[in-house]
Amino acid sequence: MSVDTFPEIGSKNLPLSIKEEFGDAVRKVAVSPFDLIYEFKEEENAVFVYALVPMRSVR
């Protein structure tokens, strides 16, 4: 399973620090030991990957 196949699978329940850096439209999906931060733009049918963040560093 991948975010390009199922782009809406990611969680929008994000820490404030992630929302402040990347905006409210981003999602995260766990890729242990990281969180993959991405945005799905439905109108463009495109997934934009912004960051791979170590899970323990996100607050």
Query: Would 45 be classed as within a structural domain?
Result: yes
> What total of structural domains would you count in the chain?
1
pLDDT, one tens digit per residue, over 25-44 is 999 999 889 999 999 999 99
pTM of the model: 0.85
With respect to residue 50, please indicate whether it lies within any of the assigned structural domains: yes
**In this structure, is residue 2 part of a structural domain?**
no
33's tokens: 């030991």
Residue 1: inside a domain: no
Backbone CA torsion sign across 19, 16, 2, 52: positive
- Percentage of residues in the chain with pLDDT exceeding 70? 93
pLDDT at 59 over 60: no
Give the range of the structural domain holding residue 11, as residue numbers without chain letter: 7-57
The CA–CA distances, whole Å, from 13 to 29, 44 equal 10, 23
Would you say residue 39 lies in a domain?
yes
Give the CA count within 13 Å in the CB-facing half-sphere of 57.
10
